[in-house]
Structure formats: structure tokens, C-alpha cells
Amino acid sequence: MKKTFDTWKNHPSLDPSLKKAMETMSESDIEDAFYKPLAFGTGGMRGKMGPGTNRINVHTLRKAAYGFAKYVVEHETDAQRRGIVIAYDNREHSDAFAWAAAEVIAAFGMRAFVFEHMRPTPLLSFAVRHQGAAGGIVITASHNPPEYNGFKIYDADGCQLVPNHADKVVRNVEAVEDVFKVPAMDIDEAKAKGLITELGRDIDESYLEQIATVPIQPADKKQLTVVFTPLHGASREIGLRALTEAGYHVVTVEEQMVPDSQFKTVKSPNPEDEAAFELAIKYAREHRADLLIATDPDGDRLGLGVLHEGNYEFLTGNQTGAIFIEHMLESHKQAGTLPDHGIIYNTIVTSDFGAAIARTYGVDVESTLTGFKFIGERMKAIEQTKHTFLMGYEESYGYIIKDFVRDKDAIQAMIYAADIADRLKKQGKTLIDYLHELYAKYGTYREKNVNLTLEGKAGEARIEAIMEHFREWMPTRVAGHNLIVKEDYLRRLRYERGVEHIIDLPASNVIKFAFDDEAWFVLRPSGTEPKLKIYIAAKAPRITEADTTLKALEEAIMAIIDDVPEADQHKEVKR
């Protein structure tokens, strides 16, 4: 690590701002920044910004762009002409990183289409197919803290690359021996040669035309008042336009319409966190708003708050997904448009709530691995089959209603949520009323997520030790619940009542335990953050009973984790 540090610090091509930052790095800073290359995970390459091989900076980003550009040239027909579309969010250096990627792409003799202004991730997914491009890139770290940034890559269908393709990119990236020698063409030269083109707002119009088709049935004049916040992010223009053009009275959280890279008005720019709605609630109370809408910085996740009996209550991603499914399928049924072979996609950590609803309508449900790229892959796969795509969603507040986008799309989701809420308001109901009607009809499904943040080399080793322990652990009962199924997605094995079955999904470091009363829990290391994610789910006749089960399972899981011996930090971490 010290040798690599010295090479970086003394290299004449090192970005001056990085050189200055290296002068004040401590030994622990150096270890964390240089002990490994920054890896691709479920959401691409994401990490803290700064100097080092394990950091996002202009040099590691050019290395990543080189690996992706080489892959596109080798695997896409007429790639140089079709080119790669690049979007970016409001984060520090995002625009500079976008242009750095464009310089590398141009060095391959391939066209780069760079948005003039920050734009949400779903618009990038749309733009790839709209332009007929060979691929796409988004510079974003989604809802991570402000010190993070990232690099997400998309195929010609506007879908994030799945592992068998991403692995080829990784091999290209790892083959780069010197990050300071990655070819890059000067921007002015590339523009003069027609290799870099800026994209304006014309694509916005085409995308918004598609957004207007998201509601299933035409609606009367809107009665709903909406408070909207993009949490400083890239959906501030598109999101506002989509809502206002749909006819809603929209109140914006003005402080958060500003593209602040430091997210100073929130503790975390994550619409999954109710604390992110603090300012939105203030505006909502002033305007007696019916619905609060928040999107994350790159505009692919949606959070909802609902005025219900005088207070603002918040929906989880699983609850919102279930509401969408019931409303969608009932609307199709009433209109006589419910397809014979409709299909909905979720993930292996998504609640069973939405799937239970879908199956009562005769709609198939298929669960993919975690990561919306797997849902996008399935959307493409069924294009020429008997199946009709109806919806894709995951517990982490991501939804896709129509397939003109192949990634989660908060703009589509906000329009669909507002449409349902407006129709319910005209009936004297709220989304919370509707949720409780679903509980009464299908059973009470409740979920809880626990995130253990374990940073650095020591944290990575600790996560591996915990996963290894649970991988070997085969209980019969946990917190009074009888185990019936254990699924190890890394080994691709399902153990059910003593019998082994093969799991027909790609290998992934995920372990799931399911019980005879429909409770379950999952452990999964995050692919983009230094976290161990724990998902817990329960079903019961009443909310209190389900929540009691969640609490008991959480306590049992955490007690087991506490007893896992500390990992050997000097042991090589498995990839």
C-alpha cells in the first residue's frame, strides 16, 4: 500500500487537488484508500471521493470508463457511431467525472452524448434507447452521504449490466496496469471531431410524453395537493413538470429544489428515511397537502408521506408496491384489459404482500436477485413471449410501471401514486385507508430492515465472518419459529425439510431463512456501501402481532451476530 501511495503522490499526472489531499492523510486513511481497487457491486462502482485506488476520483473513474468503453466496442454492433449516453447528478465533481468519462470514450473513436444539465437516472435509461445508443453511464451515488460518488453502467436496452456482462467490464478494468496512462481525448478536440455531443432538453419532452401514459384510466380534474422535494437532486425539473402537467396542485420544498452537493438540509438524502421529509412536512402543514413526494438525488427511488386523520404517515417500499399492484390489477379487471399471461417482478428480499395480491388475480410473480438490473433483464427477455410485463419493484423504494425505462423510475412511480391518491380522495379515502383494506383482505404483512455499517478493511472482514457463520448455521427453530427453508444463493442451494434443491439464479452472497408461519429473514452484504443488510418479514392477523414477531426475530439475529468471533483482519477477503 505504501508503495502505491508513493507512486500516486509523486506521479506528475496526478490531479493537483488529490495531491494536496494526500499530504494530510493518516496511516489509517492510507490503508483504507489503497488496500484494494474500488470494486463493481450491485449498483456499479461506488465509493468515497478522494485520492487512492479504493476511492472515486478522476483517475479511477477513467479506468472504469476505459473498461466499459472497451466492452461496448467489442460487444455492440456499430458502437463507435451509436455511442454512449452520459448523465450525472448534483454531487460534487459529478459533472467533471461525466466529462472525464466522455474524454475516454472519445479516445476509442466512439461518440459520447453528455447531458448539458443534471438528469435523473431513469431519463438516462430512456435516452439510451431513444438515441439508439450502444450503452449508458450515470455518475451518481444515489442516496449515499455527500462524500460518495459512483459510476453506473447501462447496456443498449437502458438496463444496468448483469453479472455475466459486468464481469467482462471488470476484467477490462483490472487489466489497466497504470491509471495514469488511460487514453483520453481533449474535450475541445473531441467536440471538433464530432465525438462529443451535448444533449439538451429535447429528450425531456419525449420522456414526459411517455410519463403521461402511466395512469391506466383517464382521470377527472385533480383534487390532490402534493408537496414535492427532489432532496436537492436531479429530478427537480422533470419531477415538477410531470406533476404539474398531470394537473396536480404542487408545492415545492424550495430549500431542496437547489442542487446542493452537500445536502445541507437533510441528515441523509434518502427518501426511505422519514427524517428526510422534515422540511416537506413543514410545507405540507402550511398548505394542508394530501401527499408528500420525495425522490433520491438521482431520481430513481420514491418515498411517500400521506395525510391521514390529521397526521402524516409514511409508506414503506413494500407497502407502496402492494398498493400499486392491487390498484393496477383491479383497474385492468374492471376495464377488461387484464392480460392472460401478465407478470410482475420483485426481488428475493421483497415482501410477499404484493405477490399474494397478484396471484389472486391470476398474475405470475417472479423474484430476481437484489438489484434492479435483474428485473430489467427479465423485462427484455419476455418481449417476444406470451407474457405481458405489468410492473417491477423492490423493497428499497424502486418501481417501474411501464417498460420505456429499464431501471427503477421515481417519476413514473410518483405519477402513479398521485393518481391513486387522487382517486381515493374523491372517495373520501387515503392511501393509508387503502393499505388497511388490503391488510383486511390479504393479511397483515410487516417488514423491517436493519443495516449494520462496518467500514474499511476490518469492517469488510467482519461482514464476511458473519456471512460465513450464517452460511454454516442450520437451526430448526429461531425465536420460536420453525425453520422450513434455508436458501444459500452463493452456493445456489435451497435446503427444504432436509432436501437439497438447485436455485436457478446466478450466484450471489445472500442467505435466506424462511419459517412455517410465513416469517423470514435475509442477510446480504451491500454491493455499494460498507453495510450488512438484514431484512426481516412477518405475517399475522394484526399489526401488533406481526411487529412482535419482527422484534423477536431481530433480537435473535443480533444476539447470534454478537457471538460471531472477530474476524482475522489480515486474512484475504474473498471476492
Q: Which residues are catalytic?
A: 142
Q: Which three cell numbers stand for residue 166?
A: 459486468
- Packing angle of the helix pair 456-472, 27-34 (nearest 10 deg): 50
Distance CA 288, CA 276 (A): 19
The total of other beta-carbon atoms located within 10 Å of residue 159's CB is: 25
83 backbone φψ class: left, alpha, beta (φ>0; ψ -120 to 50): left
Chain-centroid distance, C-alpha 568: 32
Please state the length of the chain: 575
Q: Could you tell me the end-to-end alpha-carbon distance of the chain, in angstroms, rounded to an integer? A: 19
Amino acid at site 313:
E
Determine contact, residues 197/111, Cβ cutoff 8 Å: yes
Distance from C-alpha of 437 to C-alpha of 65, rounded to nearest angstrom: 49
Give the pairing type, strands 520-525 and 511-515.
antiparallel
Give Rg (Cα) of the chain.
24
Cell of 446: 410487516
Dihedral angle, C-alpha 451, 394, 143, 302, nearest 10 °: -130
Strands 388-394 and 398-400: antiparallel
Residue 335 Cα distances to 216, 339, 426, angstroms: 9, 11, 19
**DSSP assignment, residue 428?**
T
DSSP 49: B
| Cell numbers at 272, concatenated | 426511505
Query: 504, exposed or middle or buried, with CB in 10 Å at 0-12, 13-18, 19+?
Result: exposed
| Degrees to nearest 5, angle at CA 61 with 56 and 63 | 130
**Rounded to whole angstroms, how far apart are CA atoms 120 and 118?**
7
**Please, how many CA atoms are within 13 Å of residue 7, restricted to the half-sphere of its CB?**
11
> Beta strand 84-88 with 112-115: parallel, antiparallel or unpaired?
parallel
What amino acid is encoded at 194 in this protein?
Answer: G
In degrees, rounded to 5, the angle at the alpha carbon of residue 236 between the alpha carbons of residues 230 and 238 is 125
CA angle 128, 131, 136 (to 5 degrees): 25
Dihedral sign, Cα of residue 40, residue 45, residue 49, residue 50? positive
Spell out the residues 6+ positions from residue 134 whose beta carbon is closer than 8 angstroms to its own: 72, 76, 77, 78, 79, 82, 83, 84, 110, 156
In degrees and rounded to multiples of 5, residue 286 shows phi and psi of -65, -35
